[in-house]
A and B are shown apart, each in its own frame.
Chain A
């Protein structure tokens, strides 16, 4: 995961409430094999409407999305976070998020910023013409004007985001305890790794450990 301390730039001034995962990425995109590329399917139904925000050249490639209450509700599909990341969104600002979505967003390096409705309303206005900055160092959202909103984030998630640590990376850092466990497993339950007959199975590959 890329370390992120600051996300700065244009923002989609959307503000819509209850944006569900079907809106973020429709179900027919789940038959894909990559996380990348899902940006093409992101907000497909919104984009089908002429004059929509996401195809407005003023906001093309914006790293920030500003939305309303309950962003990311619906199914648990991780594809929603993948789609946002793929379209270049690194931070979403909203009054509230679905738990599952914010977990998935975090796992994919997207900062979810919770701010009061008034702050979000103001940011939607500013973002129509000016850039917005989300700073994890100072835990603030600022604009070129005098706006300065502080927000909170779980300390563990903040650290993971700022240091570019992902859960896989963190667990990999525990290699010694895992290896110790495996040693014990090899003695106590040797049959776990000693699979008797693999004949007929294809096993090749340069990336074997």
Chain B
């Protein structure tokens, strides 16, 4: 009998084209996503060497990072120009490159456009048991569906375009198990923040994480995507969740998912993927759902997590000297003082969006808190759906009217305020309650201060004007 294997090992084994002497392998890549920022030089490289895209049919390009989230067409339906010259150029280059190389492309003007990591699952391009890459670190999100998915650099993008393979060394494995049932007001975002708070921002370095346990099994695909998305913030190469009936039900009938006989065959294979009983992980971490509360970050690393009922930690409370110094630097940057209650911290901006939390469930959760309330004075609150299809669905459910009636801005899909590459930015010294995944120094604009939290918590912050416990506004 073959020895028991993990989900990661099964997917890896199924994609080995060739084993090399030094232990690395040539790995076949089933799915390649492209966006405008990290692909232009890869196409340029192909062009210079007279090469082609080996498998355009396994490739999909979508613009997202640079796109403004304001209206894209005028009243007559004509495309509006993009003011930032460099952004406009990067976006135009993507259009030119996909046309020249015959790569399937979802244009900015299509309803199917969105953040690349929202579009993949939504279109059924992301499938269980596939290897998937993109020149973007949050490619880890797709692991939520049982894919082995990770971010790559521009030379590797070129390598995949030309050869549909990558030279990779196997990673170590880590199981993160969350058992029990989530408490009132606790969401997938709180779970992943709790995990990163526990393992640390470098805790997963060199590993591929598999998220397991009752809590993960009970989550929708949307919630699972939120969790796998932030694997990279825990330092892991990738994060995976075993595919199950929830995954299959989500995928069935999606435009690019297998159909008919193929579907049945695919599901049969996907059912063999979950880790075998007795499979060994290099590291195991366990969390109890009962210990997880609505949470948020206080500092400039995603590991700086506290429950909303907590307060700003004192740098002295950290054991090692470098952590103490880092905490002090974070607090200075964030403009916070030790001992301050998180719930007393006022905010000026709210961002509900990003590839972590911009799917329909996220918008529903935020809308249920916003419903019948008003955005507090002096607060600017943005809701940015992850894709045109999410936007449409939300509008069909009337969520847009709930948001706009409450004083939120309802925008076009894109990365938006997640990173300061398009016009949506947080001004220096101002504070943002954000559903995105990175609270690094300057991430939302030079001098911006970010608190990561769930969509419902972000809505609670918007209507109270401070970081707030969503449980007090629910029900």
- One digit per residue, 1 when the CB lies within 8 angstroms of any chain B CB and 0 when it does not, for chain A 167-209 equals 1110110100110011001000111111111111111111111
CB < 8 Å A-B pair total: 147
Given contact pairs A192-B30, A206-B100, A167 touches B167 in the complex (Cβ within 8 A)? yes
User: Is there contact, CB below 8 Å, between A171 and B112?
Assistant: no
Residues of A within 8 A of B93 (CB): 33
User: Is there contact, CB below 8 Å, between B101 and A33?
Assistant: no
User: Is there contact, CB below 8 Å, between A172 and B162?
Assistant: yes
Residues of A within 8 A of B37 (CB): 31
8 Å CB contact of B258 from A31, A182, A196, A204? A196
- Chain A residues within CB distance 8 Å of chain B: 31-36, 76, 78, 82, 104, 107, 166-169, 171-172, 174, 177-178, 181-182, 185, 189-209
Tell me if B225 counts as interface (CB < 8 A to partner A). Answer: no
Tell me if B183 counts as interface (CB < 8 A to partner A). Answer: no
Q: Chain A residue with minimal CB distance to B16? A: A181
Given contact pairs A200-B112, A202-B98, A33 touches B105 in the complex (Cβ within 8 A)? no
User: Is there contact, CB below 8 Å, between B45 and A203?
Assistant: no
Residues of B within 8 A of A166 (CB): 49
Q: Chain B residue with minimal CB distance to A209? A: B52
User: Is there contact, CB below 8 Å, between B256 and A36?
Assistant: no
8 Å CB contact of B90 from A31, A193, A203? A31
User: Is there contact, CB below 8 Å, between B155 and A107?
Assistant: yes
Given contact pairs A167-B159, A196-B259, A209-B52, A31 touches B87 in the complex (Cβ within 8 A)? yes
Tell me if B51 counts as interface (CB < 8 A to partner A). Answer: yes
Tell me if B255 counts as interface (CB < 8 A to partner A). Answer: yes
User: Is there contact, CB below 8 Å, between A202 and B107?
Assistant: yes
Residues of A within 8 A of B158 (CB): 168
Residues of A within 8 A of B105 (CB): 201-203
Residues of A within 8 A of B60 (CB): 201
- Interface of B: prevailing SS: mixed
Residues of A within 8 A of B153 (CB): 76, 78
Bound Cα distance from A82 to B38, whole angstroms = 14
CB neighbors of A among B93-145 (8 A): 93, 98-107, 110, 112, 124-125, 127, 129-130
For residue B255, give the distance in angstroms from its CB to the closest CB of chain A: 4
Given contact pairs A107-B155, A205-B102, A195 touches B57 in the complex (Cβ within 8 A)? yes
Tell me if B18 counts as interface (CB < 8 A to partner A). Answer: yes
Bound Cα distance from A167 to B154, whole angstroms = 13
Q: Chain B residue with minimal CB distance to A207? A: B101
8 Å CB contact of A33 from B90, B112, B155? B90
Q: Chain A residue with minimal CB distance to B39? A: A33
User: Is there contact, CB below 8 Å, between B127 and A168?
Assistant: no
User: Is there contact, CB below 8 Å, between A171 and B154?
Assistant: no
Mind listing 21 A-B residue pairs with CB under 8 Å?
A31-B37, A32-B86, A33-B40, A35-B44, A78-B41, A168-B163, A171-B163, A177-B18, A178-B28, A178-B164, A189-B266, A189-B269, A192-B58, A194-B262, A197-B255, A204-B102, A205-B101, A205-B103, A206-B102, A207-B102, A208-B102
CB neighbors of A among B75-103 (8 A): 86-87, 89-90, 93, 98-103
User: Is there contact, CB below 8 Å, between B112 and A36?
Assistant: no
